[in-house]
Structure 1
């Protein structure tokens, strides 16, 4: 046999209401925190991820182009062949 206790019913309603209020307050705090973080990030003028990736790709392409240009330039800078071991022409020691 089950009896209804009005005191326990009121306590259950009170706890349910408090939990709902706490959950709503938590969601409100999360929303406020997110808005504040977005505002701070906007004030700091941070770069977005997609802009960073585009710039990173451009830099990689430029580095590859520089490497290609350096590789093409190396044969033109070859020293003349001489008789010394360092590749420069030998000079007469008497003069």
Structure 2
């Protein structure tokens, strides 16, 4: 059998070392890029998606509450307006005039002064 020259073993070892070094370098570059992107996001005052979704949910609840309260106010205003209209349509009670104080008309229908 032919023995492989030591040169190929060294070359294989060198290639394996280079691949592991490249893998480590790739991880390091990825971490650096991630750090730079996070810094850029912080400088731009951008928000994360989960924070945005939470705020949107709060806004939707507030909008629903505002709609509910607006409907309730409308119903209460209708009740007040109907109550005021009912009070205006009721005739005022007649004043009590004593028969003794009331002038009596004469036969011609005129009342004495």
- TM-score interval (norm. to shorter): 0.5 to 0.7
Distance 1:32 1:51 in 2: 25
Cα RMSD between the aligned structures? Answer: 2.1
TM-score (norm 2): 0.56
1:44 corresponding residue in structure 2: 44
Q: For this pair of structures, how many residues does the alignment match? A: 76
Instruction: State the Cα deviation string for residues 60-86 of structure 1 (Å, max 9, x = none).
Output: 12111122133231672xxxxxxxxxx
Partner of 2:110: none
CA displacement at 1:50 relative to structure 2: 4.3
Query: Larger C-alpha radius of gyration, 1 or 2?
Result: 2
4+ aligned runs moved over 6 Å, structure 1: none
* Unmatched runs of 5 consecutive residues or more in structure 2: 79-113
Structure 2 CA distance, aligned partners of 1:51 and 1:30? 25
- Distance in 2 (CA, whole Å) between partners of 1:15 and 1:35 is 30
Partner of 2:27: 27
So what's the TM-score if we normalise by structure 1?
0.65
| SS at 1:41 equivalent | helix
Taking the TM superposition and a 5 Å limit, the aligned residue runs for 1:1-95 are 1-72=1-72, 73=74, 76=78
